Structure 1
């Protein structure tokens, strides 16, 4: 695990790395995630040099988490890429929500004052002990705030403080997640709130209204397409955006992948990103 100087050098419309991280093992409804992850990687590759995290197969359950052995192997692979490239700004194409654990951990070590905006229909604040499903994509917030699975404790840097993570549009949770949120005092992003310092946006597409964006495995969101793009645009307006992660894109077929990809491109443009020069 490397430690970095706090430095956001470079142009705010350029990211150093597009990380293709097509993890599906953390989800309980994973059938369409690989298709969505590949489409998301194609979009993200337009804006930054692409590196791919290799997948480790189905994996086996361990420590109360489904397919944990594969998830842990993939975390180590992602961490190795991040330690090698040392990106100051990262665009990530998931994959399930848990891909952001490695990315946010990397950014937090570089930027100790990092703020994470967690755009999601779900609180994602279970632990292995409280999760009713055992699916790791419901655990990344608790992991990042200091309650990781035992196998990650020696691999992660310092946890985020509760004040460093803000929910946006999250409203679905079980009793264990609400208890964690109350215990830690995690709050929601307020309308028009300005975030000082470096910002990372976790954008789970299931935050979106499924009537407008149907390419989802968990269609429980409320956010309109316009509101989602505006949220990203406003968060990036200060010029301090250091990370954007797009997760849980689950199109049922190639036509859905193409349709949904247009919105992923819209989010990247809302973040102020410019496509790489070609030719």
Structure 2
């Protein structure tokens, strides 16, 4: 019998122009639980350096090709549920597009300290506009590639640092999108499940950017780079704990049918630095 859950290994790094996300994917693939009823498929990803930017979006041609490769795999496998292991945040685009086409009353929880709703006029990184593409307000070529656009009323941002929104993030207010802050979720974690019930979301996908977590609680994220000061990080820094997130994910799964889960932006600094150091030794060359 064909497995109904597909696990996509998607070490896509071009969306954030950071090859280290490939190592994050390798480590993540060894951490997640295994199950004989879950089929694992690796999406082929280009590993060479990005060409000089000419379109306004870093790696646009490569990313469009990789999104299409992902869509082709989903069209053949036709899963009921998708677990996506990133890679940068852009890995959710094609799986969520597919799932939105499979289910009525489908919604998305974007568990991220950042909203990822920029566009080609204010960013050149697709991982900063992946949700905008899904909402048809992102980069033109990527908007067009999405077949099943999300409704803003079927998206909730969870763990968002609203006070740290930048000009490039203002689609949060313009659309507008429902959001909860880390403090909201600490005091009233039921806000997410209440939103699911109120909007009659029967099937849900969760995008989990690991940097929604506090660097004090989880070290394998970008802001936790060794020998740097978190206060100097140039973007919002997460404030949630692993315990909070797993409690929230469990509650989501008890309220709606969890059909999609993406885990993105895993940055295991110790493994990254160890591999880079070992690669300089003659014995490995």
TM range (shorter): 0.7 to 0.9
Q: CA deviation at 1:67?
A: 1.7
Q: For 1:35-114, what aligned pairs fall within 5 Å after superposition?
A: 35-44=23-32, 46-47=34-35, 48-56=38-46, 57-60=48-51, 61-114=53-106
Query: How many residue pairs were aligned?
Result: 241
SS in 1 for 2:214: coil
Q: For 1:1-279, what aligned pairs fall within 5 Å after superposition?
A: 16-28=5-17, 30-44=18-32, 46-47=34-35, 48-56=38-46, 57-60=48-51, 61-131=53-123, 134-171=124-161, 172-177=164-169, 179-189=170-180, 191-192=189-190, 193-194=193-194, 195=196, 196-219=201-224, 220-238=237-255, 240-254=257-271
Larger radius of gyration: 2
Larger helix share, 1 or 2: 2
Q: CA deviation at 1:55?
A: 0.9
CA, structure 1 residues 86+45, in 2 after alignment: closer, same or farther (shift >3 Å)? farther
CA, structure 1 residues 70+107, in 2 after alignment: closer, same or farther (shift >3 Å)? same
Q: CA deviation at 1:239?
A: 5.1
CA, structure 1 residues 101+218, in 2 after alignment: closer, same or farther (shift >3 Å)? farther
CA displacement 1:43-76 (0-9 Å, x = unmatched): 3471421001111233333431112222111111
Higher relative contact order (Cα pairs below 8 Å, separated by 6+ residues): 1
Asked whether the 8 Å contact 1:58–1:70 carries over to 2, the reply is no
Q: CA deviation at 1:31?
A: 4.5
TM-score, normalising length: structure 1: 0.80
CA displacement 1:141-199 (0-9 Å, x = unmatched): 1111112422234421131111111011011431121x211110101257313423001
My pick for the range that moved more, 61-70 or 46-55, is 61-70
Q: CA deviation at 1:255?
A: 9.1
Unaligned runs of 5+ in 1: 1-9, 258-279
Task: Tell me the C-alpha RMSD between the 2 structures.
Answer: 2.2
TM-score, normalising length: structure 2: 0.78
My pick for the range that moved more, 225-234 or 61-70, is 61-70
Asked whether the 8 Å contact 1:44–1:92 carries over to 2, the reply is no
SS in 1 for 2:57: coil
Q: CA deviation at 1:15?
A: 5.3
